[in-house]
Structure 1
Amino acid sequence: MIKKTLIQGLIIVAGFFLIWFGFSQIDFMKLFKVNERTHTMETKLGDMIWSQIQDSEQMVTNDTLIKTLDKLVNPLCKANDIERDSLKIHLVIKDEINAFALPNNHLVVYTGLIEDCKKQEALQGVLGHEIAHIERNHVMKKLSKEIGYSVLLTAAGGNKGGQLAKQILKTLSSSAYDRKLEKEADITSVEYMIKAHIDPRPMADFMYQIAQDRKMPEGMGWIADHPESEERAKYILEYIKGKKLNNKSSISEKDWKTFQEQVAKE
């Protein structure tokens, strides 16, 4: 009787492991085409939201300014194996001090941010931060958490897409990610800069500048949505402590000042 019970137990255990092994060999993501569906949704959402921005905002079309912005972005991408052509970077004429990422690798930069950065490295730090949000898939994580996956599918499907696109745009452009994702994007940006031989300390200085400016009106985008800026500056400086830092300017100081002046005239 004991022997029979033991054999039955062994059969059950063996059966469990066989079933487990069988399921482990199945690619459920492929089976249900989850990746494909999510990618399609992200593409549609990003292009739909960007279309709304185009309809309501004025874009910078000056090739010289676009090329200068590229000169600031390219070193970050090249040093960190990020495909530059995968990023769709748009320069929008707006006084707001803001930059934000959209689905499908869209990155929107307001001229007000460029005017406010005292050094090119500060701007590169912010751009690296937003690129990190894209590379780490933070954009879709944020939207899925705050809006809901099913609602995003509805928007991408075109059912009341226009209305939802406005809500999604507001979520991405005027509210911060949770602190964990923000810190991950900050540190990733610092790593991008170090690998590109760009000094990340001006990024921390920019954070302090944000923290110290108490007269900023509400709705100032990147500034208003990062109230813990002093704390972020501190952990950036702590992270780079003891690391060998190089500073290879992407453009000359003269070209940086000219860039800011020309942007201000747009």
Structure 2
Amino acid sequence: MPTLNKLSSILIAVTLTACTASPTGRNQVLLFSDSDMSSLGAQSFEQMKQQQPISKDARVNAYVQCVARSVTQHVPKQASFDDWEVVVFDSDQVNAFALPGGKIGVYTGLLNVAKNQDQLATVIGHEIAHVLADHSNERLSQSQLASAGLQITNVALGSSDYAQYRNVTMAALGLGVQYGVLLPYGRSQESEADIVGLELMANAGFDPNQSVSLWQNMAAASGRNQPPELLSTHPSHKTRIQDLKSTIARLPTTDTTRPNCEK
């Protein structure tokens, strides 16, 4: 089976040469350069700005910009971009995001749940942490490896006695890959972003204890709509709050001046 052996060798070689460690020491495989990811993030952000309404509320924009700027001022300088761009999208979504290339999006709906500057800083710090920890690169790389893995499996099945079951087997593998690799930001990545993001916002002078209040607000807002933790890429609210409390207890004290961002 020369084709299978060749594909397997390529996959192993790529995995070994691209292996690295995340900020919390978790093993990662990153196949793409920082410049490639930054370019992808910038392009995606431009499309979003064209397709989604942007808030024109000067007070809301000033508030979000103040919180974001306070956090990013304490983020290490990145090699692939110079400045963080922040845009407030006019939407009821309770969400925010950060993309490679220093792009941050905050939806106005989030401000109904993140009640103060500390809670908003928790979310922004969390999203920035995804970028600093190369989670988008990791997810995209996993997708590439998953595709390669499916090709290898397809070759193996094609030469086996079980070729008649190929469609069923590939469908099962597709479902497994979908839940195991391709869904956005798995629970380990979300938990990692919680830890790194909490450190970022605390270093910026925000109150890390408000992160617990934020997720209590999130739990109240989601009610019974959150799926079971087993089927969700996010930790359950209860798990998240417990982990945040443990992280807060380990945070060093900081002498950073507390920001004063008025909502």
Secondary structure, aligned partner of 1:50: helix
For 2:189, give the aligned amino acid: L
**Equivalences for residues 98-109 of structure 1 within 5 A:** 98-109=95-106
Instruction: Decide which of 36, 39, 43 is 1:41's aligned counterpart.
Output: 36
User: 1:147 and 1:198 mapped to 2: Cα distance?
Assistant: 38
- Corresponding residue for 2:112? 115
1:197/1:245 contact within 8 Å kept: no
User: 1:194 and 1:207 mapped to 2: Cα distance?
Assistant: 16
- Corresponding residue for 1:184? 192
User: 2:250 and 2:39 mapped to 1: Cα distance?
Assistant: 44
Q: What's the offset of the Cα at 1:82?
A: 4.4
**Equivalences for residues 50-89 of structure 1 within 5 A:** 50-82=45-77, 85-89=82-86
User: 2:226 and 2:249 mapped to 1: Cα distance?
Assistant: 34
Counterpart check, 1:195 vs 2:203: yes
Q: Closer, same or farther in 2 for the Cα pair 1:240/1:77, shift >3 Å?
A: same
Counterpart check, 1:90 vs 2:98: no
Q: What's the offset of the Cα at 1:245?
A: 5.5
Counterpart check, 1:237 vs 2:237: no
- Corresponding residue for 2:125? 128
String of CA shifts for 1:180-199, please: whole Å, max 9, x gaps: 22122111111112222221
Q: Percent identity?
A: 24
Q: What's the offset of the Cα at 1:177?
A: 1.2
Q: Closer, same or farther in 2 for the Cα pair 1:210/1:64, shift >3 Å?
A: closer
Q: TM-score, normalised by structure 2?
A: 0.61
User: 1:245 and 1:105 mapped to 2: Cα distance?
Assistant: 27
Gaps of 5+ in 1: 1-27, 30-34, 152-174, 257-266
Q: What's the offset of the Cα at 1:113?
A: 0.6
User: 1:38 and 1:249 mapped to 2: Cα distance?
Assistant: 36
User: 1:79 and 1:85 mapped to 2: Cα distance?
Assistant: 14
- Corresponding residue for 1:137? 134
Paired residues, what number? 195
Gaps of 5+ in 2: 1-16, 19-29, 149-182
